[in-house]
C-alpha cells in the first residue's frame, strides 16, 4: 500500500523539471514536483547558469573598466571584496529560486523535498515514504565527471565548488577547454588568477566553428590565459605548497597550481533513480533514451533534460519539459528544433545548426559567408574586440544551414539567426530586413549581403 498518490510526478526541479511541472499544472494536471534541494531551480539556478553569469558579469565590468584607460578614463586597480561579490551572486540566485517557489505555489504544484527512487512500475520511494503514481517524468539532470586517479584535495574543484568563490588562487589550472572550462577561465582570469587551460583535443570549445574558436582563443590569450590544447594531464600530485599536474602532448611538462578545476564534461544521472525497477533502461553513460515526445520505452514514464544525453543545455531541458507535459495532457507535441549553444566567454561564442566542418563531413552542399567585426562601426565604437558573424547556407535555395557568432553579445545576436533557420528564411530575407544602424545585428544582414554581392560596407 502506498502512503501517498501522485497522478503526475516530476523527479527533479531544474529548468526541465520545473518547466514541465508548471506547464502540466497550466494544462490542468494535478502535479507533484520532487527534489532533494532546499530550493527549486536545479543545477542551473543554484550552481550553474545563473551564478556563473553573475560572476561573468563582474569579470566583464573589471575588463571594461581596465580597457577604458586607453580611452583616457582611469578607474585604477579593482578592489576585490570576495565576500560581497559572493553575497551578491547568492542574492541573485535566491531571488530567482524564491520566485520559482512562488510560481509553484500559485499553480498549486505540490513541492516535495526528498530524493525519489523507483520501487516498481508505478511506485516510488521518497525518503522512506512510498508513493504510487500514474505518470512520471524523470528530470534528474547530470553531475560533473570526476577524473579517475586524482587525489582527494580541497584545492581540486568541480564547477560547483568553483562557483562558490572560495578564493582567488594565484595560479589556477583548468582541465577541460569546453564551455565550463572557458567560462571559469574568463571569470578567474579577470579576478586576478594566472589561469592555464589544458584541453585534450586539438581545439578548445570542440564542436564549434574552428575559425570562430581561433578568435576566442586569441582573445583569451590576450587576457593572459594560457591555453594548452592537444594536451593530456597524466598525473596530479597534491603537494603541501602546490598541486602539480604532469602533462603530455603538445605541452610536455609540469604545471604548478594553487587550485585546479575539473571541467571535463557532465554525466547523466540516470543511474541514481533505480529506473530499472520501473522498467526504464539506463545506458552505461547514465543516459535514458527518449523519442521526440520525450517518452521512455515505458508508457507513462517520460524523461527530459540532461538525463536524456547531449546536448546538456538548460534551454533544451525546458523545451523537452513543455513537450512532456503537453503529451501527458493529451496534446500533440514534439521537439524537433535547433538547440543553440553559447559560451558566455569574453568575447562570447554562439552557434546553431551546422558548422562548416559538419556540413563538409555530412557531404551537404554548402557555401559560407561572413562579416568581420573589425568593419562594424558599432563594435569599434563600443571598444569591442575581434569578432565574426558567419553563415553556412545552401547555395541553391539560399536557406541558412548554420550560423556562428563570436564577439560581444554573440549569444543575443544568435537568436535572429536561429529564428531565420527555424522559419526557413533565406539570405535575401536577412539582407532585405532593415537592421538599425549602428548595431551589432547589422553584421547578420551584412553577412547575407556579402553572399548576395550587395554589400557596400566592406
Residues that bind ligand NAD (CB under 6 A): 147, 175-181, 183, 198-201, 206, 232-233, 263-266, 311-313, 342-344
Q: How far is the CB of 235 from ligand NAD (least distance, A)?
A: 12
Cβ-based nearer residue to ligand NAD, 55 or 136: 55
Interatomic CA distance for residues 128 and 72, integer angstroms: 65
Phi then psi for 186, rounded to 5 degrees?
A: -65, -45
Helix (H, G, I), strand (E, B) or coil at 368: strand
Q: How far is the CB of 142 from ligand NAD (least distance, A)?
A: 7
Q: Which residue is nearest to ligand NAD (CB)?
A: 178
Q: How far is the CB of 52 from ligand NAD (least distance, A)?
A: 7
Interatomic CA distance for residues 321 and 19, integer angstroms: 6
The CA distances from residue 154 to 157, 240, 243, 251, 261, in Å, are 7, 12, 11, 26, 11
Helix, strand, coil percentages, rounded to 5, for the chain: 35, 25, 40
Residue 5's CB is within 10 A of a number of other CB atoms, namely 15
Q: How far is the CB of 404 from ligand NAD (least distance, A)?
A: 15
Cβ-based nearer residue to ligand NAD, 271 or 345: 345
Cβ-based nearer residue to ligand NAD, 232 or 367: 232
Do residues 211 and 204 touch, judged by C-beta distance below 8 A? no
Q: How far is the CB of 262 from ligand NAD (least distance, A)?
A: 8
Burial of 184 (0-12, 13-18, 19+ CB in 10 A): buried
DSSP conformation class of 79: P
> Which residues are CB-neighbours of 334 under 8 A, at least 6 positions away?
292, 293, 323, 327
Q: How far is the CB of 41 from ligand NAD (least distance, A)?
A: 15
Do residues 209 and 359 touch, judged by C-beta distance below 8 A? no
Cβ-based nearer residue to ligand NAD, 110 or 256: 256
Q: Per the residue annotation, which of 5, 366, 398, 437 is the catalytic one?
A: 437
Do residues 93 and 45 touch, judged by C-beta distance below 8 A? yes
Cβ-based nearer residue to ligand NAD, 138 or 175: 175
Our answer to whether residue 437 is catalytic in this structure is yes
Interatomic CA distance for residues 423 and 257, integer angstroms: 49
Helix (H, G, I), strand (E, B) or coil at 391: strand
Cα–Cα nearest to 192, from 225, 157, 156: 225
Cβ-based nearer residue to ligand NAD, 376 or 409: 409
Residues identified as active-site: 437
Amino acid at each position: 500500500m502506498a502512503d501517498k498518490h501522485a497522478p503526475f510526478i516530476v523527479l527533479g526541479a531544474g529548468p526541465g523539471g520545473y518547466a514541465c511541472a508548471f506547464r502540466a499544472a497550466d494544462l490542468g494536471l494535478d502535479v507533484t514536483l520532487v527534489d532533494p534541494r532546499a530550493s527549486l531551480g536545479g543545477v542551473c539556478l543554484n550552481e550553474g547558469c545563473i551564478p556563473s553569469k553573475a560572476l561573468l558579469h563582474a569579470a566583464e565590468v573589471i575588463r571594461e573598466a581596465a580597457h577604458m584607460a586607453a580611452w583616457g578614463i582611469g578607474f585604477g586597480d579593482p578592489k576585490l571584496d570576495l565576500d560581497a561579490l559572493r553575497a551578491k551572486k547568492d542574492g541573485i540566485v535566491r531571488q530567482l529560486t524564491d520566485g520559482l517557489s512562488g510560481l509553484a505555489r500559485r499553480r498549486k504544484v505540490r513541492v516535495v523535498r526528498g530524493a525519489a527512487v523507483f520501487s516498481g512500475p508505478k511506485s516510488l520511494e521518497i525518503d522512506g515514504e512510498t508513493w504510487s503514481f500514474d505518470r512520471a517524468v524523470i528530470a534528474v539532470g547530470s553531475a560533473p565527471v570526476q577524473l579517475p586517479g586524482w587525489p582527494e584535495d580541497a584545492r581540486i574543484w568541480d564547477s560547483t565548488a568553483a562557483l562558490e568563490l572560495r578564493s582567488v588562487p594565484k595560479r589556477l589550472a583548468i582541465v577541460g577547454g569546453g564551455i565550463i572550462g572557458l567560462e571559469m577561465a574568463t571569470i578567474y582570469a579577470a579576478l586576478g588568477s594566472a589561469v592555464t587551460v589544458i584541453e585534450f583535443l586539438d581545439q578548445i570549445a570542440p564542436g564549434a566553428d574552428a575559425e570562430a574558436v581561433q578568435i576566442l582563443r586569441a582573445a583569451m590569450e590576450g587576457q593572459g590565459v594560457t591555453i594548452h590544447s592537444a594536451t593530456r594531464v597524466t598525473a596530479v600530485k597534491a603537494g603541501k605548497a602546490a598541486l602539480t599536474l604532469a602533462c603530455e602532448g603538445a605541452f610536455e611538462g609540469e604545471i604548478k597550481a594553487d587550485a585546479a578545476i575539473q571541467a571535463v564534461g557532465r554525466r547523466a544521472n540516470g543511474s541514481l533513480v533505480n529506473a530499472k525497477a520501473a522498467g526504464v533502461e539506463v545506458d552505461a553513460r547514465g543516459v535514458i533514451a527518449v523519442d521526440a515526445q520525450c517518452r521512455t520505452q515505458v508508457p507513462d514514464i517520460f524523461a527530459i533534460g540532461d538525463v536524456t544525453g547531449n546536448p546538456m543545455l538548460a534551454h533544451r531541458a525546458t523545451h523537452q519539459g513543455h513537450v512532456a507535459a503537453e503529451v501527458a495532457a493529451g496534446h500533440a507535441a514534439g521537439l524537433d528544433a535547433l538547440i543553440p549553444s553559447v559560451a558566455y566567454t569574453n568575447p562570447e561564442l554562439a552557434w546553431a545548426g551546422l558548422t562548416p566542418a559538419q556540413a563538409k563531413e555530412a557531404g551537404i552542399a554548402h557555401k559560407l559567408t561572413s562579416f568581420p567585426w573589425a568593419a562594424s562601426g558599432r563594435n569599434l565604437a563600443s571598444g569591442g574586440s575581434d569578432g565574426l558573424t558567419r553563415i553556412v547556407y545552401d547555395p541553391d535555395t539560399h536557406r541558412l544551414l548554420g550560423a556562428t557568432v563570436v564577439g560581444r553579445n554573440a549569444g543575443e545576436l544568435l537568436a535572429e539567426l536561429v529564428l531565420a533557420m527555424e522559419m526557413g528564411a533565406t539570405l535575401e530575407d536577412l539582407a532585405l530586413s532593415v537592421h538599425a544602424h549602428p548595431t551589432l545585428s547589422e553584421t547578420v544582414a551584412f553577412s547575407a549581403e556579402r553572399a548576395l554581392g550587395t554589400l557596400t560596407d566592406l
